[in-house]
Amino acid sequence: MFGLFKKKSAVEKLQEKYKKLMEEAYKLQSINRADSDTKYKEADDLLKKITELQANS
């Protein structure tokens, strides 16, 4: 209840974005392989940024 108005950290926001990208990539996998690969690449880059931020904290 008290965490209702708590703002998300930058890492939490990036983790949500990573999860969405992975879901989109999975859905595109059977439809368009090139677009799926692009989404996986974006997600991988985002994961690297997340680990970089966590290492600096």
**Alpha carbon distance 53, 10 (integer Å):** 9
Half-sphere exposure of 25 (CA within 13 A, CB side): 16
pLDDT of 16: 96
pLDDT of 24: 96
Query: What type of residue is 41?
Result: K
> pLDDT digits over 1-57, tens only?
566 778 888 899 999 999 999 999 999 999 999 999 999 999 999 999 999 999 997
**Alpha carbon distance 47, 24 (integer Å):** 15
pLDDT of 42: 96
Angle at 38 between CA 10 and CA 23, to 5 degrees: 60
Both tokens of 6, joined, read 């708590």
